[in-house]
Structure 1
Amino acid sequence: MENLVEGFRDAARQAGATVGDDDLVAAAGYLLQRWSEPQRQYHTVSHLQAVLDVVDQFGQLAPHPERVRLAAWMHDAVYDPRALGDANERDSAEFAEGLLSTLGVPDGNAREVARLVSLTAGHATEEDDPDGELLCDADLAVLAGDDDAYGKYTAAIRREYAHVPEADFRAGRAQVLKALLELPSIYRLEPLREQWEERARRNIAKELEG
């Protein structure tokens, strides 16, 4: 956890935060509490760490990796499995801009982090948006896992939606998966696409067949 907190503090500083280190550490702790809420089964600290690991590995592909790191921290800061549509992403984006503003991050950077967060609703980016592409690719990295990792992912998602009847869950899940397959490519950044695209599409197709 200490490394996570230090990473948040460093990214916030790089984005222009003006408050003291104690306030940045407190903000990171508050976010980790959110990521540890009991309704979460997949969207947990482990998912946050996994997204940040990808951002760290491929950060050189983005012009503003500190913004992407902050967006990773914020992208599921608000998470309610019972929320409708893209409410979680909208609320997380609004939350991100507000929190970063209280930490003294300049308005332009806070707005940009909020914009990045909002992209995770549909994982569709405009052309020439490498920051957004890195965040979305990192968020979807789990789709390219091996059989064991992918199985654990889908099981955790089902537990998050335990309140949804099986038939309804399958229909909603299929809609999400088909939308991913309809994207020109699941991963936008070339190095990630080369590594993960084929495996991710195979995993999704197998899940849909099941």
Structure 2
Amino acid sequence: MQASDAQIFSAAWEHAWRELGLAPATDALPQLLAVHSGSDRHYHGLQHIAECLQWLEQLRAQVAHPAELALALCFHDAIYDPQAKDNERRSADWAQAVLQAAGAKRDAVQRVHALIMATCHFQATQAQPAEDSDWMLDIDLAILGAAPERFAQYQAQIQAEYAWVPAADYAQRRPAVLRIFLQRPAIYHTAAMQTRLEAQARHNLQQALATA
């Protein structure tokens, strides 16, 4: 039987805290599952987080602090309002509060906070170690290199989250966002993800622009 997105999330959450030797507040997991399951979470919800956590499992041996990265992934879209500009900061602050309450070391708290802030994507990141920030960014953008069917679903999910934007404006703005990724010398930061996903991501983006 295939695990549900909530089961994948919960298992990764519990594994991460065991690795850190800490216990979070008992209400933290239910609260996160609740926000990620909101009816407005067409893309930025449990499916996306579960996909990210599954990528982390594949890449775990190459990550410096996998437990911290897992928690950063669990929290990175905890606050998501398409009309807001501070989603990453508020999500990072939530993670920081939970980690501090659980007695996490200061450097671990700072790393998780920085990893979440790195998902602004279009801003410079100061996450340490830099290698884990690269994994964070690449995992978050793995959807761009997904199979065409999943990429098409993702495109529709993003459009649903931006239903409040007039159709003509969305039709102009969305292609502009996709072009930003195509204009990068490489979409992915790590050699491993470039090898696995770069070609498919570029194909997906080019197809999306061709049909926009």
**Counterpart position of 2:34:** 33
TM superposition shift of 1:112: 0.8
Deviation track 1:75-97 (CA, whole Å, cap 9, x = no partner) reads 1010012213xx11121112211
Q: Indicate whether 1:53 and 2:58 are aligned.
A: no
**Partner secondary structure for residue 42 of structure 1:** coil
Q: What amino acid does structure 2 have at the position aligned with 1:119? A: A
Distance 2:183 2:138 in 1: 15
Q: Indicate whether 1:203 and 2:204 are aligned.
A: yes
Q: 1:125–1:204: structure 2 CA closer, same or farther, 3 Å change rule?
A: farther
Distance 1:144 1:89 in 2: 23
Deviation track 1:96-130 (CA, whole Å, cap 9, x = no partner) reads 11122122222221111010001111166579722
Q: Give the alignment partner of residue 18 of structure 2, picking from 8, 13, 16.
A: 13
Which aligned pairs between 1:40-189 and structure 2 lie closer than 5 A? 40-84=41-85, 87-122=86-121, 129-189=130-190
- How many pairs does the alignment contain? 204
Distance 2:112 2:176 in 1: 28
Normalising by structure 2, we get a TM-score of: 0.88
Distance 1:71 1:128 in 2: 14
Q: 1:78–1:149: structure 2 CA closer, same or farther, 3 Å change rule?
A: same
Distance 1:74 1:184 in 2: 29
TM superposition shift of 1:209: 2.2
**Partner secondary structure for residue 169 of structure 1:** helix
TM superposition shift of 1:174: 2.3
**Partner secondary structure for residue 70 of structure 1:** helix
Distance 1:181 1:125 in 2: 20
Normalising by structure 1, we get a TM-score of: 0.89
TM superposition shift of 1:54: 0.3
Q: 1:3–1:206: structure 2 CA closer, same or farther, 3 Å change rule?
A: closer
Q: Which deviates the most, 89-98 or 149-158?
A: 89-98
**Counterpart position of 2:3:** none
TM superposition shift of 1:17: 2.5
**Partner secondary structure for residue 43 of structure 1:** coil
Q: Which deviates the most, 141-150 or 10-19?
A: 10-19
Deviation track 1:14-61 (CA, whole Å, cap 9, x = no partner) reads 235255xxx35x311211111011211011111110000001110111
Structure 1 unmatched ranges of 5 or more: none
Q: 1:60–1:92: structure 2 CA closer, same or farther, 3 Å change rule?
A: same
Q: What amino acid does structure 1 have at the position aligned with 2:207? A: K
- Contact (CA 8 Å) 1:39, 1:80: kept in 2 or not? no
- Contact (CA 8 Å) 2:8, 2:53: kept in 1 or not? no
TM superposition shift of 1:176: 1.9
Q: 1:30–1:169: structure 2 CA closer, same or farther, 3 Å change rule?
A: same
Provide the alpha-carbon RMSD of the alignment: 2.0
Distance 1:105 1:10 in 2: 15
Runs of 4+ residues deviating >4 angstroms: 123-128
| Larger RCO, structure (CA 8 Å, separation 6 or more) | 1
Structure 2 unmatched ranges of 5 or more: 1-5
TM superposition shift of 1:3: 4.7
